[in-house]
Amino acid sequence: MPRTTITIADKIEALSIVDAKGVVDKQLEPSMPDDLLLDLYRAMVLGRRFDERLLALQRQGRIGTFPPTSGQEAAHLGAVAAIKEDDWMVPAFRETAAEIWRGRSLESVIIGLNGYNEAATVDPPGTTLPVSVPVGSQMLHAVGIGWAARYCKEDKVVLTFFGDGATSEGDFHEAMNFAAVFQAPVIFLCQNNQWAISIPRSKQTRSQTIAQKAVAYGMPGIQVDGNDVLAVYSATAEAVERARAGQGPTLVECVTYRLMMHTTADDPRRYRSDEELETWKAKDPIPRFEAYLQAKKLLTKKKIAAIGEAVQAQIQAAVDNAEAQMKTMGDPLDMFAHAYAETPPHLAAQKEELAAELAAGGKEGADG
């Protein structure tokens, strides 16, 4: 047998449309309605300001630990804007602005970050899954949902998010492989934010890009400037179109950066330099999109200020509203709810046990 060469893809596309200064590549500029552009801008500003407010609330002890999203707004909002409302979104946990885009209220986020399950019921039902904490594990659900949609002959695609760290998980591999084998209509959106807590992207994988991993699974992959909302939108929209046409999944790697900590329990100064942070601050997705929209005459300084004020007012109202709502939440007995469709006898008994303890109000019962 001779030793021969098998030709596989040896190139991966990289896409950037608006540069860090806000200058657009006219050839690549997607055709997007003005309303959508402005909605995206507003959502990005809301995401950033909300993140900052959440950090303040956390430092004041008014919410628990949370994973900030600052710096990654373009990556998750650009993607989610490319799917329809009745498509599915399967998030990890650093896509808060995208969840809000999909209809999750700020109140729900605040309530959830205060450890109330009630957060899940604050918003109307939709086709967005709750956040998934175990890294990479949610991607397989996206494959199942996508497969099911196709089986039911419903025109729906699934957008699932994960980070660079998740690409080391076995579930990433299994999800990519299953999706490709079954040609499931799934868009795998990697928010490569360079850090998995303290592990840099270079120690996560020896691959030159994350996008190239798609090649091994037999699906298209593309790397995009994740801080360029137009690039993310364009690449995702292409992937969505392919998925809708029955051409299966796509991997979209968004190169971005986590400007804040992994969660509020983390101190990034232990593992990364101020210089690096400054480099990425210069690539911030919001100012460049702002500059682009200004050049396009869609935004003025006055309008920017008005949006900023409106967003702050929205956040303040949500904080007030959430804090008021939480006063009536947290019945301890609700921990027994929704374990099963019907509460089995042993759980009913345990619920009674806790109810009796609560009724006794800390006093020792007759049988104590």
Partner 1 sequence: MAKMTMVQALNLALRQEMAKDDRVILLGEDVGVDGGVFRVTDGLIEMFGEERVLDTPLAEAGIAGMSIGMAVYGLRPVCEMQFSGFSYQAFHQIENHAARLRWRSQGRLSVPMVLRAPYGGGVRALEHHSESREAYYAHTPGLKMVMPSGPRNARALLVSAIRDPDPVIFFEPKAIYRAYREEVPEEEETLPIGRSRIVREGRDLTIVTYGAMVRPVLAAAEDLHSKDGAEAEVIDLLTVSPLDDTLFTASARQTGRVMVVHEAPRSFGPGAEIIARLVEKSFYYLETPIARVTGYDVVMPLFSREKHYLPHADRVLKAARKLLRDG
Q: Which residues bind partner 1 (CB under 8 A)?
A: 90, 117-118, 120-121, 125, 129-130, 132, 134, 137-149, 151-152, 170-171, 174-175, 177-178, 181-182, 337-341, 344-347
Catalytic-labelled residue, pool 53, 102, 242, 258 = 258
Nearer to partner 1, 90 or 318 (CB): 90
Nearest distance from C-beta of residue 284 to partner 1, angstroms: 33
Q: Is 262 a catalytic residue?
A: yes
Nearer to partner 1, 123 or 276 (CB): 123
Residue 223 forms beta bridges with which residues? 14, 253
Residues 6+ positions from 298 with CB-CB distance below 8 Å: 34, 37, 38
Q: In the sheet that 250-255 helps form, which strands lie side by side, from edge to edge? A: 13-15, 221-225, 250-255, 186-192, 158-163, 88-90
Quick check: helix, strand or coil at residue 238? helix
- Is residue 260 a contact partner of residue 70, using CB atoms and an 8 Å limit? yes
Nearest distance from C-beta of residue 132 to partner 1, angstroms: 7
Nearer to partner 1, 137 or 205 (CB): 137
Query: From CA 333, how far away is CA 335, in angstroms rounded?
Result: 5
Nearest distance from C-beta of residue 9 to partner 1, angstroms: 21
Q: Is 242 a catalytic residue?
A: no
Catalytic-labelled residue, pool 53, 102, 201, 262 = 262
H/E/C letters for each residue in 172-189? Answer: HHHHHHHHHHCCCCEEEE
Nearest distance from C-beta of residue 175 to partner 1, angstroms: 7
Q: Is 76 a catalytic residue?
A: no
**Per the structure block, which two tokens stand in for 287?**
């100012």
Nearer to partner 1, 140 or 311 (CB): 140
**Per the structure block, which two tokens stand in for 330?**
């947290």
Quick check: helix, strand or coil at residue 162? strand
Active-site annotation, residues: 258, 262, 271
